[in-house]
Amino acid sequence: MKILFMLPAAKGIYADEAENRRISVIQSYATPTIQIDIVNMPGVSGFSPWGQKQPDSYKSAGIIRAHELGAECALQAESDGYDAFCPFGLIDIGVQEARRRGVGIPVIGAAESSALICGMLGRRFARCFYLKSEEIEDQARDRVIPWGLQDLFVGTTAIGIPNSEYPHRRKEVLSRFVSCANEAREMGAEVMGMIGMSICPIEFSSKELSQACGMPVIDGIAAQMSMAEFWNVSGLPGSLMKIPR
């Protein structure tokens, strides 16, 4: 099986060390039966996933353009013979647009797949992102509605530190994640799902975070991989994956 992962930015947007770390972590999920290739977004969108002081609105011109470029990459992945396309990051860049354009292979986002695992478990879950924003909170609630998970989603927590600062503030990031988990627990969450990828799995594994906070933590890449492998083994058509369901 061959999976193409796309980083959510063109070459040069991430710092070199940050991009190399992401490539290394994504490739660590490869197995003897699953080949993983990684590409950058095929163009500059105006959206930057690295070092933001304020999160972008999901309706910003940069993110809209990113979705278009992501869909183009998914179409190319299908043409090149890949079995699945997975964009890196919680925005699920290009997923809905690629499906709208009729991409025939599974196009699988980390946010959607990790949320659906929470749904499969039947557990109430919270999201953990980098920076707090009332608009992003509202958009997160809107996103889970087409997935049929609005009754299980309790809300969003935030680390409060830009992701570019995580490598040299790891202890603080871990401490703040534990606080986020406690906040989520007070909101009624049983699982930490939809975790910003710079938190998990780039900085910490889901096992490390689960042990630290005492709650199950869903790994977004593992969720994408699991769904991609299921689709490949089952032989179901990628057209079944649509939004809204």
Written as one string, the DSSP assignment of 33-98 is: TBEEEEE--SS--S---SS-SSPPPTTSHHHHHHHHHHHHHHHHHHHTT-SEEEESSTT-TTHHHH
Is the pLDDT at 244 greater than 80, yes or no? no
pLDDT confidence tier of residue 57, bands split at 50, 70 and 90:
low
- State how far the Cα of 78 lies from the Cα of 148, in Å rounded to an integer: 28
Indicate the helix (H) or strand (E) that contains 156. strand 153-158
Do 156 and 183 have their domain in common?
yes
Do 170 and 87 have their domain in common?
no
- Domain annotation covers residue 19: yes
pTM of structure? 0.94
Residue 229 tokens read as 């492998």
pLDDT of residue 88: 98
Name, in order, each residue with C-beta under 8 angstroms of 81's C-beta and a sequence gap of 6 or more: 2
Do 69 and 125 have their domain in common?
no
| CB of 124 closer than 8 Å to CB of 238 | no
pLDDT of residue 26: 98
Q: What are 198-240's pLDDT values in tens digits? A: 999 999 999 999 999 999 999 999 999 999 999 999 988 877 7
Do 104 and 9 have their domain in common?
yes
Q: What are 146-195's pLDDT values in tens digits? A: 999 999 999 999 999 999 999 999 999 999 999 999 999 999 999 999 99
Do 160 and 233 have their domain in common?
no
Looking at the structure of the chain, the number of domains it has is 2
Is the pLDDT at 139 greater than 90, yes or no? no
Backbone angles phi, psi at 192, to 5 degrees: -95, 110
Helix (H, G, I), strand (E, B) or coil at 19: helix
Do 128 and 167 have their domain in common?
yes
Is the pLDDT at 52 greater than 90, yes or no? no
Do 102 and 24 have their domain in common?
yes
Is the pLDDT at 54 greater than 70, yes or no? no
Q: Which domain holds residue 122?
A: 111-219
Do 69 and 44 have their domain in common?
yes
For the purposes of burial, counting CB atoms within 10 Å of the CB of 161, is it exposed (0-12), middle (13-18) or buried (19 or more)?
A: middle
Give me the residue label for tokens 């933590």.
Answer: 217
Do 105 and 131 have their domain in common?
no
- State how far the Cα of 39 lies from the Cα of 122, in Å rounded to an integer: 34
| CB of 37 closer than 8 Å to CB of 76 | no
- Domain annotation covers residue 143: yes
Do 91 and 125 have their domain in common?
no
Do 214 and 226 have their domain in common?
no
- Domain annotation covers residue 245: no
Residue, of 243 and 230, whose pLDDT is higher: 230
Which of 145, 153, 98 is closest to 124 using CA atoms? 153
Residue 66 tokens read as 């990113």
Do 126 and 73 have their domain in common?
no
Name, in order, each residue with C-beta under 8 angstroms of 212's C-beta and a sequence gap of 6 or more: 174, 177, 178, 204
Name, in order, each residue with C-beta under 8 angstroms of 52's C-beta and a sequence gap of 6 or more: 130, 131, 162, 163
- Domain annotation covers residue 199: yes
Q: What is the CATH classification number for the domain harbouring 116?
A: 3.40.50.1860
For all residues of the chain together, what is the average pLDDT?
93
- Domain annotation covers residue 96: yes
- Residue type for position 150: Q
Between 71-80, 88-97, 201-210, 230-239, the lowest mean confidence (pLDDT) is in: 230-239
